[in-house]
Amino acid sequence: MKLHEYQSKQIFAKYGIPTQKGRVAATAIEARQIAEELGGRVVIKAQVLVGGRGKAGGVRLAKTPKEAEELATQILSMEIKGLPVRKVLVVPATDIEQEIYLAITNDRAARRPVMMASAAGGVDIEEIARTTPEKIVKIHIDPLLGLRDYQARDIAIGIDLPKDYWKPFVEITRGLWRAYVECDATLAEINPLVITKEKQLLALDAKMLLDDNALFRHPDLAEMRDVDEEAPAETEARKYGLSFIKLDGNIGCMVNGAGLAMTTMDIVKLFGGEPANFLDIGGGASAEKVAAALRIILADPNVKAVLFNIFGGITRCDEVAKGILSALAEVKPQVPMVARLVGTNAEEGRRLLADANMITAETLVEAAKKAVAAAQR
């Protein structure tokens, strides 16, 4: 789950990382009021769940409350990388001496978290990572020991941070590490962490990604989810307890079991097709779940055929088939449906589906070939 900048900053503040005070506005009038309260120059920042807002014109400096209102009007009517801006953060403007990059994420290859930093932070960090990766220093963190202060100092040395800033810098890295661990984050990033004209370190931007699989441990964080910003299919899928990931192909896949779903995608690819999604409908395959899943799959205009691959173990295949049929009656799909049912009462299940004009198959290979052919027709 992605958090907005303002949400990430709330968390960072709890962990002692210095951030600007400021507030979120949903209208230009509110933005103006906040600017009045703050006094002086402010920065208006689009709150959308993508990076690169600055370069897209979503981060603007306003000298007066009136200008804050005007800029907020503009930003609130923008789309950034396809996402409409619905909120802006209004913060006091900062005079910047240097922009530093600082982040913690998981290094899967190293099987441990890694802290990364660069003296060349700011909006061009991706470019730096590509062209001069040596400008980014990295240090791996032992998950049992946690981040050690000497490691944080090594990072400070690595980015040539003047010694005066080491103490607050080490405090910030400690806070970032604790936020990362205690929130079950997969990314905690400050870009830029700035040295201000007043010689203070300040987190000017904040970004956190949280591990969805750990959210059940954090009801307070789960509440921060912004459903306005999610693909509708994902919101819908979560409501019905479906694991759904949209992909770019044209064969919708409806499968019970994550492993079976991956296998199904592989076989579809093997026979020249491209899966339109990953979907695990979980155990049971009730009519309600199948119907919800079918609506989600068919909402994608790329889908030209749907492949059902259902293993009927505890739930018998004839029961599953009845579930599928009542879902079809409700959703009335216009594309061919191919079904492979296997398990208890499979024959009976297939007969029910064939009677309803579904294309049936006994093996997964046969089903995949039929689905690929159907999608091409």
Active site residues: 101, 189
The answer to whether residues 359 and 339 touch, using CB atoms and an 8 Å cutoff, is: yes
| The amino acid at 223 | E
C-alpha 43/C-alpha 92 separation (Å) is: 6
Backbone CA torsion sign across 51, 52, 53, 56: negative
Select the binding partner of residue 204 from ligand GDP, Mn ion, none (C-beta < 5 to 8 A, by kind): ligand GDP
Q: Which stretch binds ligand GDP (CB under 6 A): 93-101, 271-279, 316-324, 346-354?
A: 93-101
The residues, ordered by sequence, that sit 6+ positions from 174 with a Cβ below 8 Å of its Cβ are: 16, 147, 149, 152
Single residue of 34, 38, 59, 341 touching ligand GDP by CB under 6 A = 59
69: contact with ligand GDP by CB under 6 A: no
* C-alpha atoms less than 13 angstroms from C-alpha of 4 in its C-beta half-sphere: 23
Residue (of 82, 63, 53) closest to 192 by Cα position: 53
Please check whether residue 253 is in contact with residue 278, taking contact to mean a CB–CB distance below 8 angstroms.
Answer: yes
Please say which residue, 8 or 191, places its beta carbon nearer to Mn ion.
191
| Cβ proximity to ligand GDP, 204 vs 320, nearer residue | 204
CB 25 within 8 A of CB 31: yes
* Alpha-carbon gap, residue 67 to 59, rounded angstroms: 13
Distance separating alpha carbons of residues 302 and 45, to the nearest angstrom: 35
Q: If binding is defined by CB under 6 A, does position 9 make contact with ligand GDP?
A: no
Cα(128)–Cα(119) distance, integer angstroms: 11
User: How far apart are CB 121 and ligand GDP at their closest, in Å?
Assistant: 7
Q: How many helices (H) and strands (E) does the chain have?
A: 13, 18
Residues found near Mn ion in the complex (CB under 5 A): 191, 205
Partner whose footprint covers residue 69, from ligand GDP, Mn ion, none (CB < 5 to 8 Å by kind)? none
Using Cβ positions, the residue closest to ligand GDP within the complex turns out to be 54
**Among residues 99, 189, 280, 318, which is the contact residue for ligand GDP, using CB under 6 A?**
99
Query: 205: helix, coil or strand?
Result: coil
Whose tokens are 């049971």? That residue is 284
**Residue 52 contact partner, candidates Mn ion, ligand GDP, none, CB within 5 to 8 A by sort of partner:** ligand GDP
In the complex, least distance from residue 201 CB atom to ligand GDP, rounded to whole angstroms: 14
Q: Is 35 in the site for ligand GDP (CB under 6 A)?
A: no
Shortest Å, Cβ 44 to Mn ion:
15
209 part of the interface to ligand GDP, by CB under 6 A: no
- Considering only 43-51, 176-184, 236-244, 292-300, which stretch makes contact with ligand GDP by CB under 6 A? 43-51
| Two structure tokens written together for 97 | 């001496």
Cβ-based neighbour number of residue 182 at 10 Å: 13
* Residue 122 binds to ligand GDP (criterion: CB under 6 A): yes
Q: Which of 16, 51, 284, 343 binds ligand GDP (CB under 6 A)?
A: 51
Residue from 22, 65, 113, 192 binding ligand GDP (CB under 6 A): 192
Q: Whose Cβ is closer to ligand GDP: residue 35's or residue 59's?
A: 59
Residues that bind ligand GDP (CB under 6 A): 43, 45, 51-54, 59, 93-94, 96, 99, 122-123, 191-192, 204-205
